[in-house]
Structures are given as C-alpha cells and as structure tokens.
Amino acid sequence: MIWAILVLLGVPLWLCAIGILVMVFRNRSLRKRAADIPIRLRVDAKGRWHRGHGLWVHDVLGFRGSPAAWNEALLWAASGTTRELTSEEAHKFRRLDQPVAATFHRR
C-alpha cells in the first residue's frame, strides 16, 4: 500500500530501496559498536518499556530506541542499584541474554 502511494507521488522505488538499505546497515552498525548493551528502558515507573541499544560511559547512559532515531537520549545517573528479576519480569525479557534489573537515580 505504501509503495503505491509513493509511486503516485512520483517517488522512484529505487530511492525507497536505498533508504531501506541505509536503515538496515545503520542498525547493524548500532548493534556492533564497542560496549553496546541491548536494553529495555523505562523512564517513568508507570511508563512503558522501550527497546533499544545503549552505551554506558562513566555515569551517563546513551540510549537509542531504533536505528531510525537520529538522536540518542543521554541519561545521567547519580547512583544505581541492581536486583534479581521476578519470574514475571524474566518472562518479559526472555530475548535478552542474562537480564539484570537496574534502577538508576537522578539528583
């Protein structure tokens, strides 16, 4: 359906294919950068989980939700704690290798 709309608007399909390839290669480079961490992030206690990749540098977590996100969220943490996952939480994160729950606190 989207292809038909793009053709009607006059966008060449080869241009769309190049855009898709750029996104695929960007996703691969995102996952293969040094010290990459596949994470699920929830900013609010009642909010929803966001899938993405992160990079931890000193006391700042850089988070990118998807390869289409052109910017990263930089989250500063003053302190943090870790805990074991409950069985319900472990089921939600079954696709992650050795998941750990961490809570970070801001000043």
pLDDT for res 3: 67
- Looking at the fold, whether 91 and 67 belong to one and the same domain comes out as yes
Say which DSSP state 38 is in.
E
- Looking at the fold, whether 39 and 25 belong to one and the same domain comes out as no
Q: Is 59 helix (H, G, I), strand (E, B) or coil?
A: coil
Q: 66: domain range?
A: 35-107
The residues, ordered by sequence, that sit 6+ positions from 93 with a Cβ below 8 Å of its Cβ are 40, 85, 99
Q: Has residue 106 got a pLDDT over 70?
A: yes
- Looking at the fold, whether 90 and 61 belong to one and the same domain comes out as yes
pLDDT for res 31: 72
Confidence band (pLDDT; 50, 70, 90) for 7? confident
- Looking at the fold, whether 23 and 68 belong to one and the same domain comes out as no
- Looking at the fold, whether 79 and 61 belong to one and the same domain comes out as yes
- Looking at the fold, whether 48 and 90 belong to one and the same domain comes out as yes
- Looking at the fold, whether 41 and 70 belong to one and the same domain comes out as yes
pTM higher than 0.75: no
Structure tokens of 23?
């996104």
pLDDT for res 54: 83
Chain segment 12-69, per-residue pLDDT in tens:
888 888 888 887 887 777 677 777 888 888 877 788 888 888 888 888 888 887 766 6
